Amino acid sequence: MTRQGTDTQWIELSTYGDALRRMGEQAGAAGDEIQRDKFGELADKLDRGLLTIAFCGHFSAGKSTLVNALMGAQLLPSSPIPTTANVVTVRDGEPGAHVLFRSKDGRIAETPNLPVERLNDLAIDGEGVASIDVTYPVPLLRGGLALVDTPGVDSTDGAHRAATESALHLADVVFFVSDYNHVLSEVNFRFMRTLHRWGKPTYLIVNMIDKHREEEVSFSAFREGLRQAMGNWRIEPAGILFLSLRVPEHPLSQWEELNSVIEGLKPLREPLMLRSARRSAVYLAEQFREHLKQGHSQQRDRLAEQAGGLDEIARLAEARQELEKRLEELENEGENRLLLFRDRLDRLLSNASLTPAETRERAREVLESLQSGFKAGGWFGGAAKTEAERERRLRELVRDLNGQLAANVHGHVAELLRQDAKEIGQDGEALEAQLEKLLPDVTAEWIRSQVKPGASADGQATLHFSSELSSSLKAQVRKEALRLASELDELRKPAREETRKRLTAELRELSSGEEAAAQLAALEEEELQAERRLLNLLPEAPGVAGTALPAVHELGGEQMDRHADWMRAAEAPGSVEAQSEDTGAAAASPAQDEAETAYIGAQQGAAELLEQAAGLLAPFPTLMKQAEGLKAKAERFRDNRFTIALFGAFSAGKSSFANALVGMPALPVSPNPTTATINRIVPPSEGYPHGTALIRMKTAEAMQEDVAHSLGRVGIGSEEIAKAGDDIAALLKLAARMSPDELHPKGRPHLAFLRAAESGWSRYGGKLGLELKAEEEEYRRFVAEEEASCFVASADLHIDSPLTRSGAVLVDTPGADSINARHTGVAFQYIKDADAVLFVTYYNHAFTEADRSFLHQLGSVKDVFELDKMFFIINAADLASSQEELDSVARHVETQLLKHGIRKPRLYPVSSLNGLKAKRERSPAALQSSGLAAFEKAFRHFSEEELGGLAVASAQKELERIDGLLSKLLESANEDTATREARKQRMLEEARQLRSRMESSKNDAAVQPILQEMGDQLYHSRQRVKYRFNEHFMAAFHPSVLQDDGRDLKKLLPACWADLQRSVGEDLLQELRSAGLRMENALHKLVSARISEEAAEAALDGFVPEAPARSKLELPLGEPFPTALNVDAKRLWNAFRSPKHFFEKNAKAALRDELEAELFREADRWLEQVKRQWSEATGEAFRADSARAAEGLASELTAFAQGLEETLGEAGDELKLAALQEQWRKIRLSASGTPNAHENDS
């Protein structure tokens, strides 16, 4: 290999490589073979002289696609389905692949010079593959670069995790790739925080920026929100880049900038390699120390026991922990103080307005004066007069800007610095003299320098010019203020050093009185010295640490202008945005409206059929009971709203899919989680015209319950919560001391909820319990802004669209991963009661844990309903690069659904964005292409033919039953009076006996079959949860949670245990809800069978009773683990020890088995209690439903018998009955022709 660079640099690399090998030998001599090998890998990497750039990120973020694009060839497998299972390294060279295979016994086999065409199989199916090294002619990589593609960081596969960490250990620079919709995910931030701790220079790439919609959230607001979120996690990337590989010409895509950054890394190759090698060596030395610590674990345990028992150990540990914590805080005090100052400064500057309207007008005048054709005094103005006018305008703008700086910036920033200085006694004349220099000197020359060549003076140009002036001035103030703050912090260092010495001395003296404790301290010192001896082998590399990375040029005025032009082009006539936001602007043709409105006509058809039949029966007293029954059924069909419930995780696109269904942007859509409440899209009603909303605020009791629940999830004790009582404001203050870093990831959304509620309390707390009418803008705030939405129970948005005109109600539920998903009983009720359930998943993102839990629930009840009412939507299908890729994603989703017991799903890939656009442009071809037309056609068939057919079939069954009664009445008409009287008396007697028999049969023996069924259901529910226990365990004790990123893992372990209890408990509750639904069905079947048997055995002379009403079984459900099960924190820590010990040495298996036994002991006690409660409730329901059904049968029979004489009491009545039956059969005949009576009428 040709080595580039000076001899000095190569001597430095060589020296470093030798040092790393010596470190490896020393680690190996101490028994740590893992670190020995890793030190060797680092040294070998330096020998190769390649600057290694690693691409990592979550599954399907587009890493492999990006690497392929940079290489200019489709070498690596890229698909929305998770692909890369191995680390793949790509270098410049002749085409070929070098693969290392590892056998099960650990032996390594080398296969050089494989054809690159085999990469697809090797990279996807990683079993047995240790590493893949690819060479290919790539111009970008010439000059000593190598690219590395890694598995997804969100994998639960230990091998994937180890492979990724191994690659990052050797990486010099990292590009973290996330897709636009998931850039704010917890997994991303936690992993980037780890990279920050490792000292790896990291650039963030936000891929798929073409998904950004300016009308949903401005790009500047999105970018600022991303920066704030990263700041909250204390992540400082080397730069943020935005890309679109699907739409390369997108104005926000920084493809050239990315290539420029990579090219800019080449001259920095040697210093970056040295810096990376040093930081990796420091990290490996820490791991070596951890290895020694694990080797001393038995000795540690023995010494701890000798040190005085558990109480003394706890005291010593607590005191040591407190001192170490204070030392750590002291170590980070300067950085944290500067971070806090910077945040306060940035907030102050962002709120400062330097270019109000009058200033912008002066800026416009300056721009106007600098135009080539400008003349003062019109056509007759001279050059001198023109120049004088220019200078006057410049002076006016200079004066204005200096005034704005003095009024809106200087005093506030100076006060921040005075407060800082006062704490250390540095306020005074010297400080004030420095504060005077804070303001930049705005001059006419400086203003002229800010005007870009060719800049116009129109409104857009003025806005950009004013914005750039403001940004530049603020940047100058910011730089000077941060410099002063840093100088002030330097003055604090001597005092900090004194405090550090004192705390260190206290730490040394802590256990001086105890020999065992001293031996423990000596053991720790020995481990620390071993680490230091390793690090002492590292040579110094002056200047390497300060190597400046290539900066990313932020998207500026030119790109934003192009983006504005791009958006204007999209708004051209015929596009989505050009259509009026008013629903009337997209008026459909009558034929199309009729087709779209036909969603639920079948149920209305059944209602008309029953109403018509009831009208025919009304004149006949003996059939009055039947007529009333038909009217009641018709009314139920009339009143029934066709409810469509949408489910899915946040950013799956539920709201955008709902918008596509109604044909307008009704619900707010954003890459941030928005749907925090239940949103229903309903037809306009009196007082609520199109576009208005009914906002139902939570009651005070519900809000208190939610706040208390979330406080428990962030670790606030029940005693503190109880002490605050029902004072919600006081409850919210309890969370103020909590830090996101201390929490399990499942607790962070709860902390965000609590902080949002505290922020919004003064504005919305007084509205609890109210119902409010909101216009569109206010509605969007209530449902999308967290400080408002956390107070909202539900919102009904009134929309006039073909879908709502048909009587349908569209319910957009909170994301399956929302904290509101704890109200899973409400979600289950929607699954149970909705006419259709639509589950939306995103095209290139795997199912989340919350998704999987919900799908388990869907799978468990799918076979309970009379018909399959579930539809599965793969949203954003326009991301597919080909039909073949789209088909493969559909097969993958179908396979995943099968794992959750969902067979033969109704699966539809859809582009909501393109579907909405097609509807608003009224383009049938585009609608078909979007996939929405195929879904709507199938959905319409479901609603009309299947669901509607079910309604009509039910109506027809009732008509058939009454037809039989009419035949019996006509038969009676030919009998004499005495015979009819005898028939009447027999039927009345049969009704009395039936009541008596049913009363005497309500015994324990009759209810035994359903109780046996209940016992089976509870047993199998328990077994299914037990089977899934490992999934719950791995989600709670996840590698991304318990990684060595500087947090106190001892505190996190109990939080993991608490989360495991909650997830297993919720799984049990979901299973029991499903079991309860099955029990309700079983109860109805048992009661119906009992009534049918009685009717068959009784002498009813052909009388067929009405089927009993459907049973409603209310089964009690408490919490499986109402109080947390206690597991000693020390026991958890002893099982865990370290992430490496727990995950890579499989120590997790022992803890998993232990916790499983603990949980299911308690669960079994709870299930026994549930069984007793359910047995009692089911028995009672069976007896009540049987009595009700028997009474209904007897009453109907009695009414029929008593009406016989009245109906047939006069001459000619039989002719009326015959005419009735003839009309009746015509109705039946017409109804049987089509399941939708509407179609005949039309």
Which pLDDT value is given to residue 595?
46
- The reply to whether 77 and 148 lie within a common domain is yes
- The reply to whether 368 and 495 lie within a common domain is yes
Helix (H) or strand (E) holding 925: helix 924-930
**DSSP-derived 3-state class of residue 492:** coil
Q: How far apart are CA 891 and CA 821, in angstroms?
A: 28
pLDDT digits (tens, 9 = 90+) for 754-810: 888 998 999 999 999 999 999 988 888 888 788 888 899 889 999 998 888 887 888
Residue 41 lies in a domain: yes
C-alpha distance across the termini of the chain, in Å: 82
- The reply to whether 1120 and 1233 lie within a common domain is no
Helix (H) or strand (E) holding 1062: helix 1049-1097
- The reply to whether 1202 and 1239 lie within a common domain is no
- The reply to whether 287 and 406 lie within a common domain is no
Q: How far apart are CA 434 and CA 850, in angstroms?
A: 55
Would you put residue 696 in left (φ > 0), alpha (ψ -120 to 50) or beta? beta
Residue 263 lies in a domain: no
- The reply to whether 883 and 905 lie within a common domain is yes
Last residue of a domain, one of 798, 833, 860: 798
Last residue of a domain, one of 158, 173, 208: 158
Q: How far apart are CA 965 and CA 1100, in angstroms?
A: 11
- The reply to whether 872 and 731 lie within a common domain is no
Find out whether 363 and 455 touch, Cβ atoms under 8 Å. Answer: no
pLDDT digits (tens, 9 = 90+) for 1064-1116: 988 888 888 888 888 888 888 888 887 777 777 766 666 777 777 777 788 88
pTM of the model: 0.67
Q: Dihedral of CA 728/734/738/743: which sign?
A: negative
Q: Closest Cα to residue 170, out of 286, 37, 15?
A: 37
Q: How far apart are CA 511 and CA 591, in angstroms?
A: 88
Distances (CA, A) of 90 to 50, 56, 96, 158, 176: 11, 14, 10, 24, 17
Q: Closest Cα to residue 507, out of 497, 517, 515?
A: 517
Q: How far apart are CA 1022 and CA 1018, in angstroms?
A: 6
518 Cβ neighbours under 8 A, 6+ residues apart: 511, 512
Last residue of a domain, one of 105, 135, 158: 158
Residue 252 lies in a domain: no
- The reply to whether 1205 and 1093 lie within a common domain is yes
Q: Closest Cα to residue 414, out of 480, 364, 368?
A: 480
Find out whether 42 and 170 touch, Cβ atoms under 8 Å. Answer: yes
**514 CB neighbour count, 10 Å cutoff:** 17
Residue 240 lies in a domain: no
Q: Closest Cα to residue 142, out of 92, 88, 94?
A: 92
Residue 132 lies in a domain: yes
DSSP 1087-1113: HHHHHHHHHHHS--TT--PPPPPPP--
Total tally of structural domains belonging to the chain: 6
Find out whether 960 and 1228 touch, Cβ atoms under 8 Å. Answer: yes
- The reply to whether 437 and 530 lie within a common domain is no
Q: How far apart are CA 128 and CA 134, in angstroms?
A: 17
Residue 781 lies in a domain: yes
Low-confidence residues in the chain, pLDDT < 50:
1-8, 83-84, 156, 310, 512-513, 572-601, 674-675, 821-822, 1234-1242
283 Cβ neighbours under 8 A, 6+ residues apart: 169, 198, 199
- The reply to whether 783 and 844 lie within a common domain is no
Helices (H), 175-268: 186-198, 219-232, 255-265
Which pLDDT value is given to residue 441?
80
173 bridge partner residues: 53
Q: How far apart are CA 807 and CA 304, in angstroms?
A: 72
- The reply to whether 317 and 454 lie within a common domain is yes
Q: What's the domain range around 753?
A: 684-798
Residue 620 lies in a domain: yes
Contacts of 153-156 spanning 24+ positions with Cβ under 8 A: 153/56, 153/57, 153/58, 153/187, 153/188, 153/191, 153/1040, 154/58, 154/59, 154/187, 154/846, 154/1040, 155/59, 155/82, 156/1034, 156/1035, 156/1038, 156/1039
**DSSP-derived 3-state class of residue 575:** coil
Residue 902 lies in a domain: yes
Find out whether 650 and 818 touch, Cβ atoms under 8 Å. Answer: yes
Which pLDDT value is given to residue 1240?
39
Which pLDDT value is given to residue 173?
93
Find out whether 55 and 175 touch, Cβ atoms under 8 Å. Answer: yes
Q: How far apart are CA 1134 and CA 1092, in angstroms?
A: 64
Q: Checking DSSP bridges between strand 808-812 and strand 145-149, what pairing results, if any?
A: unpaired
Helices (H), 582-653: 590-597, 601-617, 624-639
Distances (CA, A) of 893 to 702, 885, 1203: 37, 12, 60
Give me 870's structure tokens: 């579930």
Distances (CA, A) of 619 to 615, 958, 1213, 1217: 8, 19, 11, 10
795 bridge partner residues: 679, 695
- The reply to whether 1058 and 926 lie within a common domain is no
Q: What is the CATH number of the domain that holds 871?
A: 3.40.50.300
